[in-house]
Each structure stands twice: as C-alpha cells, then as structure tokens.
Amino acid sequence: MNTFFSEMVYLCLAVTAVLGGLVLCKLKKSSGQVGRKVICLVGFLGGLCLLSLSLFWSSILFSLSCFLMYIYLSCQELLPVDQKAVLITGSDSGFGHALSKYLDKLGFTVFAGVQNEKGSGAEELRRTCSKRLSVLHLDVTNPQQIKDAYSKVVEKVQNRGLWAVVNNAGILGLPTDGELIPMTDYKNCMAVNFFGAVEVTKSFLPLLRKSKGRLVNVSSMADIVGTNEMWDKLEKDILDHLTPDVLEDYGQDYILMQRNFFSLVNKYGHTDLTPVLLNIQHAISAKRPFTFYTPGSGACLLIYFVSFSPTIIFDYFSKKFNFFVTSMPRALRMPNWKNKAM
C-alpha cells in the first residue's frame, strides 16, 4: 500500500511538472500583463496547497490548477495580424497617438482619427509610420466627418471589413464641485465622451459585423490632464460663469486649488504607456478577450475601492489622505463667517 501511494505521488509530481512546463510555454506567447497575473495566481494556489494539504493532495490540486491554466491561456493566445484593420479615434496625442504607432509596428492597417489633421500629432504619424497607416480627419462630434471617415475606410478595406474600433477620443474638464462647472463643460463632455463614441460605433458596426471583430472603449482618470495653459483657461471659464454668491461661498482660493489634482497626477503618474498598449492589443487580438481591463499597478484596487466601498468609508479616506479633496469651500471652513460679516 505504501509503495502504491509513493508511486502515485511521483506520478502526480511528474504530471505537475509536465503541465507546469506547458503553462510556462503558453505564458511566453501570451500578453505580458496576462502572464504576470497568471504567474501570481498559480504561485498563490501552489503555496496555499502546500501549506494546507498533504503532498499527495497538493500535487493533485496543483496539477488540476495547471491544467485549467493551460486551457485558459490557450484561449488567451493572440490571433495573427493577417492584414487586420483598426480605427482609433483621438490619435492626435496620448493613448491614441501611441497606440497608432504601436499597432502600425505590429503590422496592423491603422486608421488614425485626429481632430487636427494639420497638427503636430498628425504630421508625426505620417512621418514616422508605415504606408499602412492612414490619418483621417475625424472630430467625433461632427457627423459629416464620421461619414467621410467611414467612406475612406470602406474604400481601403474593401470586403475585408474592419477588425476593430477603439473609441479613445475624450476630454476632461477641471475636476471640481459640480456646482462650479459651467453647463457648456457638461455638454462638451457628453458630446465627445458619450455621444461621439456612440455615433462612431453605430456608423462602423456594419464593418465590424462583416469581420466579426472587436469594439474597444477606453476610459481614463488622468491621462489627458493637458498643459498649464489649458488649466488656466479652465479656471477662467469657471470663474467667469460663477454668480457672486456662489463665488463668495466657495472662495476663489478654493477654486484655484483644484488644479492641484493635475499636479498630483503629474507627480505620481507613470509616463510609461506600455501596460495600456499591451492591454488594448490583448483586447484587439486575443482569442477570448476580457470584458474589462485595468492596466497599471494598483489601478484595479483603486477602482474597486471607489466602486464598492460604502460612501462613508470612501469619504473618510478621501479626507484623511487628501485623495481628491485638497481643501474645503469657505462656507464649510467658516460656517458662521457671513453672520459675523453682517
């Protein structure tokens, strides 16, 4: 009996070694972001098994884990480029600009939609990328430009269809109290970030159906923070639209401090866009892409904390560590200041 048990243990260890080797081979072919997550998960499961179970059952469970990981990674392998065409909006700068270059180097046929076809971003794409890349004048709030872009894409892809649309174009106003934001900012935000993405999607869905391709929507908390000149304009727009009573209650010092959010992003944010590019590539090319991606270290933890923590806990930590609040409006700092002034 003991001999049989020992043989079973050795057999399980051999199977585990083989499956582990197959998983490692699959990891080399998978996206870097996916690979790291799988390694962490397998390591955690293996350590948990060894600590809590006997060698025999640890080997059994770890072998099963490796087998399931092998099947999972097989579904995560990237499809060949094979002349696949991708449309990217908002390619003037930021993610869209970097993604256009990245996918062009990988061999995709790229349609880079830009708001300013004569701007520096568009000129750089024409100068540095291959002839497969086409720069399209595409303001997502302009229905006629969307129709023109559709015609140009159809002309080039012919019967192949369009493999992917990446809705990347977006704008960000000054992140401050809702009462302070002008209505024009709300309308511009919805026009670009929501209605623009919807109209582009509706226009190009027939081409995606033809190729059975992908739709990727990009959202960002802070990668479009802009320049000092843009911040100055946002501040001026807010101050110009405020009534005297609202300006008095909040205080101009409080309003001017809201741009500290951008300073924090520039200070602590990463300039390396590689995790974002790898995730979008995975969403475009994987056999079975994920529904949701959170590129960057710690990004998913912050999103889950904001989404699922009770409001009272979120507010406490926001104030405690000044995540989003750098000061308080004058009416809250000095609730009786008006009475004293009278």
Q: What CATH architecture applies to the domain 85-224+270-297? A: 3-Layer(aba) Sandwich (3.40)
- Burial (0-12, 13-18, 19+ Cβ within 10 Å), 225: buried
Q: What is the pLDDT of residues 313-341, one digit of tens each?
A: 877 877 766 555 557 777 777 766 555 55
CA distance 123 to 118: 7
Please name the residues in contact with 287: beta carbons below 8 A apart, sequence gap of 6 or more. 74, 75, 76, 77, 78, 79
Q: Dump strand ranges (E) for the chain.
A: 85-88, 109-114, 134-137, 164-167, 214-217
CB 288 within 8 A of CB 75: yes
- In 3D, which of 113, 121, 288 has the Cα closest to residue 201? 113
CA distances from 285 to 99, 102, 158, 277 (A): 14, 13, 21, 12
Domain residue ranges in the chain: 2-75, 85-224+270-297
pTM, two decimals, is 0.77
pLDDT single digits (tens) 116-151: 999 999 999 999 999 999 999 999 999 999 999 999
Please name the residues in contact with 192: beta carbons below 8 A apart, sequence gap of 6 or more. Answer: 140, 141, 169, 170, 171
What would the pLDDT profile of 219-257 be if each residue is shown by its tens digit?
Answer: 876 686 666 777 788 888 888 888 888 888 888 888 877
